[in-house]
């Protein structure tokens, strides 16, 4: 069986040999009929395939096809490793350059116009500026600059060592996206989800909520309390809505005017969250922008719940314990409880300050009365000489 590779392959006939046909890989065309080829023992040499002394007979081979029936063939191991292929390609390229060739042809790059089934070695560390680039053939074939283990490699880039992986060219774009998303990477991103039909980014709110995870500690995160956006997302999803459709439900349930300023603002806020989930695929509880949007939306819902015709943003009540209250607002009980406790604490402090002020005023009045009595009734009292 011939090899499943992009390079041309031939059988060379040697009638006087015990095995009459030898398998060859044509790696780089130098000029005319001169090629750099590889033998099954991985010897890389230059040969003129039109020279009948060197090549007594020749038969072309199709890719990944059976050898002609009845022929004895000294052939390559099939399959042989990507590491061996990379090495002989690198040697062929170097030899062609030495012999004055342009090193053109399918071996000029490991990837080339690689068909399905052929892999390329790609820098795989997403923290490097060369992430996603193909590893040069010369590096792959040099044991001083690369170490290979099946589909992963340790390769040298400049003065530093980094990682590389073998991927199919057709899968490379998705592979790069998956490397940049999901757990153990940027905590603000959800794992990549693509529509199976269009191939575009797409995810339902229900699936997104399942994947959302709040990072326990985010240095400098501007909100100290529980994430309102996570409770909001869970509430909307539990009721069977997307952010984009929930707004219409809320308008109907709350009886707020559809064209009022608060309703229009609520619509735009829900649209922002919808796009952040469906296309951007943001892990909402770890996004400060998403948290700000959610808190503003909840503030509007509370104000409308109190007075749909004239929303009042002062003294907002907490929600009921089920997914939706009677006005259509999503319940975020934990967040509301924390806000209520904070308002209660502020009220106690203000009351204490007021009582302290009243006590100070009373003490001042008592001291003034005491001084007045010591002075014999003040300036209006009769003197002893009258």
Give the pLDDT confidence of 259-315 residue by residue, as tens digits: 999 999 999 999 999 999 999 899 999 898 998 899 889 989 988 988 888 887 775
Sign of torsion over alpha carbons 245, 249, 254, 255: positive
What are the tens digits of pLDDT across the range 15-45?
888 899 999 999 988 888 889 999 999 999 9
CA distances from 233 to 49, 205, 280, 297, 342 (A): 69, 8, 15, 12, 24
**CATH number 1.10.1060 given to 8-98:** no
- The region of weakest confidence among 243-252, 295-304, 330-339, 353-362 is 330-339
Residue pLDDT, tens place only, 156-171: 998 899 999 999 888 8
Q: Residue 247, Cβ neighbours under 10 Å: how many?
A: 23
Domain boundaries, the chain: 8-98, 120-180, 205-335
Predicted local distance difference test score (pLDDT) of residue 251:
92
Residue corresponding to tokens 């909307």: 236
The mean pLDDT of the chain is: 81
By C-alpha distance, which of 195, 177, 194 is closest to 186?
177
pLDDT of residue 331: 56
Q: Count the helix, strand and coil residues of the chain and give each as a percent rounded to the nearest 5.
A: 40, 15, 45
Is the pTM higher than 0.75? The answer reads: no
């Amino acid at each position: 069986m011939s090899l499943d590779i992009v390079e041309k392959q031939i059988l060379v006939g040697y009638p006087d040999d015990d095995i009459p046909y030898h398998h060859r890989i044509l790696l780089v065309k130098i000029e005319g009929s001169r090629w750099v080829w590889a033998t099954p023992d991985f010897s890389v040499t230059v040969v003129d395939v039109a020279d009948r002394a060197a090549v007594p007979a020749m038969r072309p081979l199709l890719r990944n096809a059976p050898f002609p029936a009845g022929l004895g063939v000294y052939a390559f191991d099939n399959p042989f490793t990507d590491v061996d292929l990379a090495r002989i390609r690198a040697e062929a390229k170097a030899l062609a350059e030495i012999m004055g060739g342009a090193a053109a042809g399918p071996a000029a790059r490991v990837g080339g116009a690689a068909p399905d089934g052929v892999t390329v070695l790609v820098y795989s560390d997403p923290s490097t500026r060369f992430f996603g680039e193909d590893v040069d053939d010369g590096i792959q074939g040099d044991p001083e600059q690369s170490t290979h283990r099946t589909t992963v490699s340790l390769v040298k880039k400049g003065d530093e060592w980094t990682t590389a992986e073998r991927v199919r060219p057709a899968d490379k774009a998705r592979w790069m996206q998956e490397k940049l998303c999901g757990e153990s990477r940027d905590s603000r991103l959800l794992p990549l989800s693509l529509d199976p039909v269009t191939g575009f980014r797409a995810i339902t709110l229900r699936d997104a909520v399942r994947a959302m995870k709040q990072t326990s500690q985010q240095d400098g995160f501007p909100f100290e309390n529980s994430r309102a956006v996570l409770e909001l997302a869970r509430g909307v999803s539990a009721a069977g809505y997307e952010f984009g459709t929930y707004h219409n439900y809320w308008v109907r349930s709350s009886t707020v005017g559809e064209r009022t300023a608060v309703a229009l603002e609520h619509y735009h806020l829900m649209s922002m969250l919808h796009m952040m989930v469906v296309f951007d695929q943001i892990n909402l509880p770890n996004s400060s922008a998403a948290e700000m949007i959610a808190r503003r939306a909840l503030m509007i819902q509370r104000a409308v719940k109190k007075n749909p015709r004239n929303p009042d943003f002062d003294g907002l009540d907490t929600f009921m314990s089920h997914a939706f209250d009677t006005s259509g607002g999503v319940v975020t009980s934990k967040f509301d409880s924390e806000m209520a406790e904070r308002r209660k604490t502020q009220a106690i402090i203000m009351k204490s300050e007021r009582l302290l002020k009243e006590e100070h005023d009373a003490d001042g009045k008592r001291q003034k009365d005491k001084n007045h009595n010591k002075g014999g009734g003040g300036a209006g009292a009769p003197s002893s000489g009258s």
